Amino acid sequence: MWKVYLADCFEWMKKCEPNEFIAIVTDPPYSLEEFKRENLEKMKRGSGGVWRIPPKIGGVERNPLPRFTVFSAEHHKIMFNFFHNWAKLAYRVLVPGGHLVIASTPIFLPTVAHAIIEGGFEPRGVIVRLVQTLRGGFRPKNAEEEFKELSTIPRAHWEPWAIFRKPIEKGSTVAENLKKWKSGALKREPDGRPFPDVIPSERTPKEEEAIAPHPTLKPQSFMRRIIRAVVPLNEGKVLDPFCGAGSTIAAIEALGFDGIGIEVNPEYYEMALKAIPQLARVNVDPWLFERRINKGSKMLVLTEFLLKEGC
């Protein structure tokens, strides 16, 4: 079962019972700025702002992407305080051993990770989502022709999803924690391999974007793989406090688990209510893209080696 609430996640989480969720999986506003109403309005008008409106490539209109190279040290302090306060609430609602998986960017990951660790969590690694997007590689703004051979930031071919864990109970073992709280470990892959920290991923398919036209919608093939891993014994509720159009909740529903989403934007809340059942019915194989990539691409030699070696 799933439920989505129109609410501020800070206020909603304050009212939750302690130890209510087995895991939190979420894709928050990376900079806190891109989903403010004024920036969303600029994006819709095509006037840019934080959102970079890419040019047409091969005659195809590309989706807007947030521009994350313009933020000051002061903004990073604001982000730290936001995620530090949020992490303390997340810590309270997770069971001991429960995992928190949160999307970020290479630029903001250090700030977000520091804040979450200061909130009491243990760092457990980073999932490298290998995906080629239009993020990064920008020429200097308003001087693209003058400096057309330069880029202000590398072109991104990956997206970090940081993994944290609420510490297991003091004096307890992981096995004891699993028996009591059903948490503390990540589920292995169906073939017995450990859950990997490098996952080749597709861009969100057009079919899914048509169902939920959210600017940062993540593909079901990726989200279902993450959700499967963080519910190790197939029991417990998963929370997404920054629900957006509901891709995380749809993955939870598709796998037969229980989940709750929180979304503060009324437009995206309404979108999620309609989109979640449809996204959950999308027929995807979370490992199909990886198998295709490993068979035919020379770009992912490391991943192919790891898979062959069964690491």
The pLDDT of residue 73? 80
User: Is pLDDT at 250 greater than 90 in this prediction?
Assistant: yes
What is the pLDDT averaged over residues 13-40? 78
User: Is pLDDT at 117 greater than 70 in this prediction?
Assistant: yes
Which pLDDT band holds residue 215 (cuts at 50, 70, 90)?
confident
Which pLDDT band holds residue 269 (cuts at 50, 70, 90)?
very high
CB 276 within 8 A of CB 20: no
Backbone phi, psi, residue 308, to 5°: -65, -35
**How many whole angstroms separate alpha carbon 195 and alpha carbon 227?**
12
User: Is pLDDT at 306 greater than 50 in this prediction?
Assistant: no
Coil, strand or helix at 199: strand
What is the pLDDT averaged over residues 286-306? 62
Residue carrying the six token digits 């068979």: 295
Transcribe 44-87 into DSSP letters: HHT--TTEE-PPPBTTBPPPPEE--S---HHHHHHHHHHHHHHH
Angle made by CA atoms 74, 78, 80, in degrees to the nearest 5: 110
What is the pLDDT averaged over residues 246-259? 97
Which pLDDT band holds residue 13 (cuts at 50, 70, 90)?
very high
Tokens, residue 107: 């630029």
248 versus 155: the higher-pLDDT residue is 248
> What is the pTM assigned to this prediction?
0.83
CB 238 within 8 A of CB 22: yes
User: Is pLDDT at 51 greater than 50 in this prediction?
Assistant: no
Residues 122-144: tens digit of each pLDDT: 999 999 999 876 567 778 878 88
The pLDDT of residue 297? 55
* Conformation bin of residue 218: beta by default, left when phi > 0, alpha when psi is -120 to 50: beta
Which pLDDT band holds residue 34 (cuts at 50, 70, 90)?
very low
Strands of the chain, DSSP E: 2-6, 21-26, 51-52, 65-66, 94-103, 122-130, 158-165, 198-200, 237-240, 258-263
Task: Pick the range with the lowest mean pLDDT from 14-23, 171-180, 231-240, 286-295.
Answer: 286-295
Which pLDDT band holds residue 152 (cuts at 50, 70, 90)?
confident
The pLDDT of residue 35? 39
User: Is pLDDT at 9 greater than 50 in this prediction?
Assistant: yes
Instruction: Please give the mean pLDDT across all residues of the chain.
Output: 85
Residues 164-194: tens digit of each pLDDT: 999 999 999 999 999 999 999 999 999 999 9
Tokens, residue 279: 């996204």
Which pLDDT band holds residue 47 (cuts at 50, 70, 90)?
low
User: Is pLDDT at 298 greater than 60 in this prediction?
Assistant: no
Domains of the chain (ranges plus CATH)?
2-26+69-133+150-309 (3.40.50.150)
pLDDT > 70 in the chain, percent: 79
**How many whole angstroms separate alpha carbon 161 and alpha carbon 226?**
10
186 versus 74: the higher-pLDDT residue is 186
